[in-house]
């Protein structure tokens, strides 16, 4: 455990900050202390900062220049992630947390890598499933059994985020997401939404896919599913992969990963992003019986550093 709590500064005060990250850090007050919140909307900056006893402002530089900010949490729009990560590295911060996606182009990712190596700055990306302690334990057991994955399926069926956000926090009106329909005959717009669906939703499960399926192989089909979702199939000589998502709906939340091998089957059920309800529920089934993996902490809590930096 660190000798004192680490100061955290947020770049972005929107719904992810309000409904996910501030509640997570509230469970870890002995380790983290929120000292700055920056938002381009002065009302959001002031109110979110007030809720956690921090200072609010509209200037990014206030976070970068504040010596009390040791950790920068980047929860801004995707397009500025890379620029802000690089700026925080150069500002000498001890650690950077960046919401997914870390970058939106290969060139941005490569520049982040060069800067992080040059400055020695650790970067944590908010892909909470990759840090989920129950999933990590189950994946380690799968690897120890030397099992090979033949079929992988990641499915996401969720109601509107508002269902969870309204239970997790009292969102400020100007923070609410703006939704747009997808014109059925506008191919360019549909491609844009497909990119958003992959960078905003499928990206949570891509690191898990890599754990079992290191070679992408061939993308057999890729289709946007309105109002927001995707159907993606991939294949290689050794395995078949399916990614399927659709939201919003009125059905119960169901976020699941299924991996089938020659002798084992792994099924992981993840809680929605906005729910602070512990880890995934993971089951490995085999001829000898089943093993269940479950932990009291979530992937977001597990990704937080546990020792001084």
Closest residue by Cα to residue 172 from 75, 26, 27, 42:
42
**Tokens read off for 10:** 């947020």
| In the predicted structure, residue 309 carries a pLDDT above the cut 50 | no
Window from 23-27, 119-123, 145-149, 273-277 with minimum mean pLDDT: 273-277
Per-residue pLDDT averaged across 68-90, rounded?
A: 97
Per-residue pLDDT averaged across 222-230, rounded?
A: 87
Residues found in the chain: 309
Closest residue by Cα to residue 226 from 184, 284, 280, 177:
184
Residue 190 confidence class, pLDDT cut points 50, 70, 90:
confident
Tell me the average pLDDT of the chain: 89
Q: Are 235 and 241 in contact (CB under 8 A)?
A: yes
| pLDDT given at position 173 | 58
| In the predicted structure, residue 125 carries a pLDDT above the cut 60 | yes
Candidate CATH numbers 3.40.225.10, 3.90.79.10, 3.40.50.300, 3.30.360.10; the one for domain 130-302: 3.30.360.10
Q: What CATH class is the domain 6-126?
A: alpha beta
| pLDDT given at position 175 | 54
| pLDDT given at position 161 | 62
- Concatenated DSSP letters of 33-59: EEEEEE-SSHHHHHHHHHHTT-EEES-
Cis geometry, peptide bond prior to residue 227 (ω within 30 degrees of 0): yes
- Order of strands across the sheet with 71-74? 55-57, 32-38, 6-11, 71-74, 95-99, 123-126
Q: Are 98 and 85 in contact (CB under 8 A)?
A: yes
Distance, in Å, from the CA atom of 151 to the CA atom of 146, rounded to the nearest integer, reads 16
Per-residue pLDDT averaged across 148-160, rounded?
A: 91
Closest residue by Cα to residue 78 from 95, 60, 99:
99
Q: Are 242 and 233 in contact (CB under 8 A)?
A: yes
Q: Are 14 and 75 in contact (CB under 8 A)?
A: yes
| pLDDT given at position 1 | 34
Tell me the per-residue pLDDT of 38-61, one tens digit each, with 9 for 90 and over: 999 999 999 999 999 999 999 999
Distance, in Å, from the CA atom of 134 to the CA atom of 119, rounded to the nearest integer, reads 33
Residue 94 confidence class, pLDDT cut points 50, 70, 90:
very high
Residue 164 confidence class, pLDDT cut points 50, 70, 90:
low
| In the predicted structure, residue 134 carries a pLDDT above the cut 90 | yes
Closest residue by Cα to residue 64 from 133, 103, 9:
9
| pLDDT given at position 47 | 95
Closest residue by Cα to residue 179 from 202, 196, 156:
196
Cis geometry, peptide bond prior to residue 248 (ω within 30 degrees of 0): yes
Distance, in Å, from the CA atom of 63 to the CA atom of 253, rounded to the nearest integer, reads 36
Per-residue pLDDT averaged across 122-150, rounded?
A: 95
Per-residue pLDDT averaged across 284-296, rounded?
A: 96
| pLDDT given at position 213 | 85
| pLDDT given at position 80 | 96
Distance, in Å, from the CA atom of 228 to the CA atom of 247, rounded to the nearest integer, reads 6
Per-residue pLDDT averaged across 205-219, rounded?
A: 87
Distance, in Å, from the CA atom of 266 to the CA atom of 91, rounded to the nearest integer, reads 43
| pLDDT given at position 37 | 98
Q: Show me where the domains of the chain are located.
A: 6-126, 130-302
**Tokens read off for 266:** 């792994």
Residue 233 confidence class, pLDDT cut points 50, 70, 90:
very high
């Amino acid at each position: 455990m660190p000798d004192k709590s680490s100061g955290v500064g947020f770049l972005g005060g929107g719904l992810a900050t309000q409904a996910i990250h501030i509640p997570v850090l509230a469970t870890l007050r002995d380790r983290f202390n929120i000292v700055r919140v920056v938002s381009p909307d002065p009302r959001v900056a002031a109110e979110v900062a007030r809720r956690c006893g921090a200072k609010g402002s509209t200037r990014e530089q206030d976070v970068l220049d504040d010596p009390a900010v040791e950790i920068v949490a980047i929860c801004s729009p995707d397009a500025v992630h890379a620029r802000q990560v690089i700026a925080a590295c150069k500002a000498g911060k001890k650690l950077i947390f960046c919401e997914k996606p870390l970058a939106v182009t290969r060139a941005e990712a490569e520049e982040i890598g060069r800067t992080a190596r040059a400055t020695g700055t650790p970067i944590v990306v908010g892909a909470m499933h990759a840090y989920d302690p129950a999933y990590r334990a189950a994946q380690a057991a799968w690897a120890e059994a030397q099992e090979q994955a033949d079929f992988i399926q990641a499915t996401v069926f969720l109601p509107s985020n508002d269902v969870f956000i309204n239970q997790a926090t009292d969102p400020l009106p100007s923070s609410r997401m703006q939704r747009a329909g997808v014109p059925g005959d506008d191919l360019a717009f549909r491609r844009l939404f497909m990119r958003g669906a992959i960078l905003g939703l499928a990206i949570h499960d891509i690191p898990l896919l890599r754990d079992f399926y290191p070679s992408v192989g061939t993308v057999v089909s890729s289709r946007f599913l309105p109002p927001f979702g995707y159907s993606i199939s991939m294949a290689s000589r050794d395995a078949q992969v399916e990614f399927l998502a659709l939201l919003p709906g009125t059905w119960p939340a169901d976020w699941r990963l299924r991996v089938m091998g020659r002798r084992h089957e792994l099924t992981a059920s993840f809680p929605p992003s906005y729910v602070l309800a512990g880890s995934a529920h993971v089951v490995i089934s085999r001829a000898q019986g089943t093993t269940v993996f479950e932990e009291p902490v979530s992937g977001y809590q597990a990704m937080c550093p546990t020792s001084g930096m």
